[in-house]
Structure 1
């Protein structure tokens, strides 16, 4: 037996100092009933102690390993250790548990062993009077110990899976909390109950006046922050998405009439559960900066196509006059002054467009104006 390997497997069970569990308590009760003993224990042998996970009729939760009967099973994983009278056994006659309370006079323990053959402890029965048990009773004790070990192994796997799931959930939550906008899972039941089964931390930034916990009970609260003129459209589009199971993708205004509004976008994919509940997996985002940016670009394009038309027409007229007329020196100077004036007007306007573009980039995208200015500064 490799004691370090055995202790590692004991630790991997993650069982030491945990509360009682009904299934293991019942196995101990059955062992006592089968063998007609007042005490039954499910013990785990640690480095310096034996600790009792299940305990029927014994007034201690653990004892030193040096006093342990169960420790004598560690080298015999497939044998039931039976001590019919410890006072007649040199290994146990001076044991404190024999000489003092509980004054053990009979012990039988079936090892709890892993697939590697390492013994974790025993399912044991104890009496305060000498006795014997039959081969059938010993076999039953082994079978119960096997059931207990299967339970402990399954418990270990489940706890590992739970830890993995919890770790993954924590990691996903951190990622969703850092994501721009809101990530959510929205559900609509056949009874017309609408609620968020999951909603990321971003909701507090996008909608600071909404309580995320309330939204997990009633998501229809969200409709109250939608602009009155867009509210019916949003409700209708969500209902249509539920009925046709098509992507929900809509832009709408947030705010009240007569006040400055912001623009939001909802995008989600719906699925239907067997019970008829429709579930959307999607995002909410504040798209106001993008909308403002597009509006600014559209205004710039309009200005280029309309405001620049006049100086360009003047310049074309002047160049045509220069080409068609015989001009003296004074006339040439006059036309040159006109051309310079028109050029300066165009230059001023182009730099204004550049400044407007840089300003909007700075305002909505936190970039430095000089990073976006396509023209050099005027001297």
Structure 2
């Protein structure tokens, strides 16, 4: 037996010092009933002590390892250790629990063997009067010990999975907190109640005084920020996405804390739950700069189509007159002069237009 390896195996269960658990407490009760003993324990042996995970009929949490009966079961993984006369057994006759309370006069312990082959302790029964154990009772005690280690193995796996889940959640949260914008999980019940299950810390970048937990507790804080003219449209799109399970997409204005107007886009994918609620997984993004750029392009288009229309029309008219069959040389010269005036006017306007919108584009 490699003691260091056994100790590491024991510690991997993270069970030492934990509270009683019903499943194991029931096993020690069954052991006492099967073996007709007043005392039963599930013990775990570490480097210096025997610690009781479950107990019945005795008020003891731990004892020094050298005084432990169960310590002697560690080297016998395939048998139930039975001590029918501890008073005359050199291993136990001088131990405090034989010469004093509870005056142990009988002991039987089935080893708790892990899948790695290590013995962590025992499921044992004790009596303060002489007793004996049958082969069928030994088998029952071994089966109960196996059930105990099976429970501990399941408990270990669940604890490890819980750690992985918590680690994954932490990593995911750290990742989403770095994403530009706000990552969210939004929920609406079939009665229309709305809430945020999750919001990344990006919400604080938009609104420094607004924490994710505040929004999760009061979803109305988000809707209160939407521009009153855009709010009905956003609510209608939420309703349509809920009814038809279509992706949600909306661009709308929000009122910043300094009074400025900012543009947000929200897009998400819905999923319907069994109880009838719908959950959306999505992201908010600030698209104010993009909207300003689009508005700049629209203004350029307007200027080109309206402001430049007059000089272009004038040029076209002069060209038509110049191509007339009856135009004289004097008139043609006059038309060329007008054409130059209009061309200079158009060139000046174009230069101004370029300067204005180039400067505006660099600011966007």
Aligned to 1:4: 4
CA distance in 2, matches of 1:83, 1:262: 81
Greater shift after overlay, 349-358 or 120-129?
349-358
Aligned to 1:359: 363
Matches of residues 134-145 of structure 1 in structure 2 within 5 Å? 134-145=134-145
Give deviations 1:125-184, integer Å, cap 9, x for gaps: 112222112222222111111110100000000000000000001111111122122111
Shift of 1:79: 0.6
Q: Does 1:272 align with 2:276?
A: no
Greater shift after overlay, 112-121 or 208-217?
208-217
Mapped contact 1:92–1:98 kept (Cα < 8 A): yes
Mapped contact 2:308–2:346 kept (Cα < 8 A): no
Shift of 1:220: 4.6
**How many residues are aligned here?**
341
CA distance in 2, matches of 1:74, 1:229: 77
Greater shift after overlay, 98-107 or 181-190?
98-107
Q: Does 1:57 align with 2:95?
A: no
Distance verdict in 2 for CA 1:310–1:202, change over 3 Å: same
CA distance in 2, matches of 1:264, 1:146: 60
Aligned to 1:251: 251
CA distance in 1, matches of 2:277, 2:310: 62
Structure 1 unaligned blocks of 5 or more: 318-324, 326-338, 361-379
Shift of 1:225: 2.2
Shift of 1:216: 3.1
Mapped contact 1:311–1:346 kept (Cα < 8 A): no
Shift of 1:112: 0.4
Shift of 1:82: 0.7
Give deviations 1:313-367, integer Å, cap 9, x for gaps: 99xx9xxxxxxx9xxxxxxxxxxxxx9999899767655544433233xxxxxxx
Structure 2 unaligned blocks of 5 or more: 319-328, 330-342
- SS of 2:230's partner is helix
CA distance in 1, matches of 2:9, 2:123: 17
Aligned to 1:93: 93
Distance verdict in 2 for CA 1:192–1:340, change over 3 Å: closer
Give deviations 1:220-265, integer Å, cap 9, x for gaps: 5533222121111111111011111111101111239xx6422111
RMSD: 3.2
Matches of residues 225-240 of structure 1 in structure 2 within 5 Å? 225-240=225-240
Matches of residues 77-88 of structure 1 in structure 2 within 5 Å? 77-88=77-88
CA distance in 2, matches of 1:278, 1:344: 59
Aligned to 1:108: 108
Matches of residues 206-245 of structure 1 in structure 2 within 5 Å? 206-208=206-208, 212-213=212-213, 215-217=215-217, 219-245=219-245
Greater shift after overlay, 155-164 or 47-56?
47-56
Aligned to 1:367: none
- SS of 1:17's partner is coil
CA distance in 2, matches of 1:342, 1:251: 38
> TM-score with structure 2 length normalisation?
0.82
Matches of residues 1-379 of structure 1 in structure 2 within 5 Å? 1-208=1-208, 212-213=212-213, 215-217=215-217, 219-255=219-255, 260-299=260-299, 350=354, 353-360=357-364
Shift of 1:218: 5.1
Shift of 1:208: 4.9
> TM-score with structure 1 length normalisation?
0.79
Shift of 1:293: 2.7
Give deviations 1:251-310, integer Å, cap 9, x for gaps: 111239xx6422111101112122221111111222212212332344456667887899
- SS of 2:115's partner is coil
Shift of 1:75: 1.7
CA distance in 1, matches of 2:190, 2:60: 55
CA distance in 2, matches of 1:110, 1:263: 70
Distance verdict in 2 for CA 1:342–1:206, change over 3 Å: closer
- SS of 1:225's partner is coil
Mapped contact 1:265–1:287 kept (Cα < 8 A): yes
